[in-house]
Amino acid sequence: MIAQARDFAKWAENINVKITIHGPMGELDNLEVVHLLEKADNIRVNVTAMMSAQQCFLAALAGASYVSLFGGRVNNMGYNACDEIRKLRKVLDDFGLKSRIIIGSTREILNVIEWLEAGAHIVTVVPNLLEGMIVHPYSKETVKMFLDDAMKTEGP
C-alpha cells in the first residue's frame, strides 16, 4: 500500500489516496500506513469503508485528511447516519482534528441536505440523485407559466 500510494501521489499534486479502515479480515495495519503516508510522506489519505463515528475518529487521530462514512449503509443497518455524523463532527472539533468528513453511499435525495446539516463537509451523489435535487415539479410548472406568460405578451 505504501509503495502504491507513493507512486499514485506522483501523478499530480491533488491526489488523495484511498485506504480502507482495516484489511478484509480485520487486519489492523492500515491506520499505521495512514499515519506514515500523511506525516512522513505528506500524502493526503481518504480512509474509507467506515460505518461508525468511532472508526472515523481513530482514522482522524492517525492523521487522515478525509474520513469516509458510508451513510446509506449505516442507515440500512438500522442506525441513523445523522447521529453518527453529529457525533463525529463534535469529536473532531473538540479534539482539533483537521480531517474532513465525506459521506457516501447516498440512497435518497433527502440524505444530501440532512447529512450536510448534521456536519458532513462533503456528500457524494450519483447523477440521478443530483438530477432529482435540481428538478422539482413545482419549478417545472413555474417555468412553464413564465414561458406561457411571455408568449401572451409578445406582439404580432
Task: Judge whether 84 and 53 are in contact, CB under 8 Å.
Answer: yes
What are the cell numbers at 100? 474532513
Q: Beta-carbon neighbour count of residue 143 at 10 Å?
A: 10
DSSP assignment of 13-25: TT-EEEEESS-TT
Told to judge if 18 belongs to the known catalytic residues of this protein, a careful annotator would answer yes
Given 10, 18, 39, 152, which residue is catalytic? 18
- Residue spans of beta strands (DSSP E) within 65-134: 66-70, 100-104, 122-123
Which residues are annotated as catalytic? 18
